[in-house]
């Protein structure tokens, strides 16, 4: 995993902070994670739990974002705050209750995205 962490770390500011919301239903850090190495490790650990995970880009609450899918189900929505070409804050929603709308059936003109999610309706 260390060889995967280095490229990810290079995208993060050294003082980056990540917040994880598992809602008590999904195993996730309960406190903020600080530092590029620790944040990279936490994100890679999250993805490593599911070998068939896929990541796609998508706006999340007006931020640059990533959607992690496991077997075509949205399992994590990741919002990124970026400054000076580096990620300074990471917001990871893993709570299945909060991801319900992301897992609704997609419309034909927007495959792969949830038709019910507010970020998709604004297009």
**Does residue 116 belong to any structural domain of this protein?**
no
The reply to whether 102 falls in a domain is no
Overall residue count recorded for the chain in this entry: 123
* CATH number of domain containing 92: 3.10.450.50
36 and 13 Cβ atoms separated by less than 8 Å? yes
Per-residue 3-state assignment (H helix, E strand, C coil) for 105-118: CCCCCCCCCCCCCH
Query: Mind giving me the DSSP string for 29-40?
Result: -SS-EESHHHHH
47 part of a folded domain: yes
pLDDT tens-digit map of 60-105:
988 899 999 988 889 999 999 999 999 999 999 999 999 998 988 5
How many domains would you assign to the chain? 1
pTM of the model: 0.79
For residues 89 and 72, what is the distance between their CA atoms, to the nearest angstrom? 26
Mean per-residue pLDDT for 20-35?
A: 91
Q: Is residue 118 part of a domain?
A: no
Would residue 119 count as lying in a domain?
A: no
Asked whether residue 115 is domain-assigned, the answer is no
From residue 92, give the alpha-carbon distance in Å to each of 37, 62, 108, 116: 17, 15, 27, 19
Q: Which domain holds residue 49?
A: 2-96
């Amino acid at each position: 995993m260390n060889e995967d962490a280095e490229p990810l770390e290079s995208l993060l500011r050294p003082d980056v902070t990540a917040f994880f919301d598992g809602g008590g239903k999904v195993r996730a850090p309960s406190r903020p994670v600080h530092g590029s190495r620790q944040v990279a490790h936490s994100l890679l650990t999250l993805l490593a739990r599911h070998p068939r995970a896929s990541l796609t880009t998508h706006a999340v609450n007006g931020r640059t974002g990533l959607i992690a899918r496991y077997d075509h189900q949205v399992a994590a929505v990741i919002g990124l705050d970026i400054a000076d070409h580096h990620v300074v804050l990471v917001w990871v929603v893993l709570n299945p209750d909060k991801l319900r709308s992301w897992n609704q059936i997609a419309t034909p003109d927007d495959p792969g995205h949830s038709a019910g999610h507010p970020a998709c309706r604004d297009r």
